[in-house]
Amino acid sequence: MESKTAALAHEGAPAANEAAAPSAPGEAQRAGPFPMRSPGGGEPRDEVAETAAGAVRELVARARAAQAAWAEVPVGERAELIAGVKKRLLARAEEIAALVHRECGKPIEEAALAEVLPNADLVDYWTSSIEELLDESPVDLDPLAYPGKTGRIRREPRGVVALITPWNYPVAIPLRTLVPALLAGNAVVFKPSEVAPRSGALVASLFEGLLPDGVLSVAQGGGDVGAALVEAGVDLVVFTGSVAAGKKIAVACAERLVPTSLELGGKDSAIVLGDCDLERAARGVVWGAFTNAGQSCASIERVYVEQAIADRFITRAVALTRELRPGVDVGEMTTARQAAIVRRHLEAAVDAGAEILAGGAPPEGSLAFPPTVLRVAHEDTPLLQEETFGPVLPIVVVKDAEEAIARTNASRFALTTSLWTRRHARAHALARRLRSGVVTINNHGFTGALPAAPWTGVGDSGSGVTSSPHALAALTRPRFVLDDRSRAKRELWWYPYTPALRALAFAMARARGGAGLFGRVRALVELAAALSRRLFGR
Active site residue ranges: 263, 297
CA–CA separation, 79 vs 182, rounded Å?
A: 9
Task: Say if CB 131 and CB 456 are below 8 A apart.
Answer: no
CA–CA separation, 414 vs 407, rounded Å?
A: 12
Q: What are phi and psi of 228, to 5 degrees?
A: -65, -40
- How many of the other CB atoms lie within 10 Å of CB of 91? 10
CA nearest neighbour of 104 among 194, 18, 191, 187:
194
Q: Is 64 exposed, middle or buried (0-12, 13-18, 19+ CB in 10 A)?
A: middle
Task: Say if CB 383 and CB 348 are below 8 A apart.
Answer: yes
Task: Say if CB 140 and CB 461 are below 8 A apart.
Answer: no
CA–CA separation, 423 vs 441, rounded Å?
A: 10
Q: What is the CA radius of gyration of the chain?
A: 28
DSSP string, 378-420: -S-SHHHHS---SSEEEEEEESSHHHHHHHHHTSSEESEEEEE
Give the burial string for 92-107 (b: 16+ CB within 10 Å, else e): beeebbebbbbbbbbb
β-strands 300-306, 268-272 pairing: parallel
DSSP state of 309: G
Q: Which CA distances in Å does 474 have to 126, 159, 166, 213, 463?
A: 15, 11, 19, 24, 11
Q: Amino acid identity of 229?
A: L
- How many of the other CB atoms lie within 10 Å of CB of 380? 7
Task: Say if CB 298 and CB 416 are below 8 A apart.
Answer: yes
Beta strands in 391-512 (DSSP E): 392-398, 413-414, 416-420, 438-441, 455-456, 458-459, 465-466, 476-484
Strand 187-191: give its sheet, edge to edge: 216-218, 187-191, 160-164, 236-240, 260-263
Longest dimension (CA), the chain: 92
**What are the start-end ranges of the H helices in 44-196?**
56-72, 75-82, 84-91, 93-104, 108-111, 117-133, 172-183
- How many of the other CB atoms lie within 10 Å of CB of 322? 13
Upper half-sphere CA count for residue 207 (Cβ side, 13 Å)? 26
Task: Say if CB 298 and CB 268 are below 8 A apart.
Answer: yes
Q: Which residues pair with 438 in a beta bridge?
A: 416
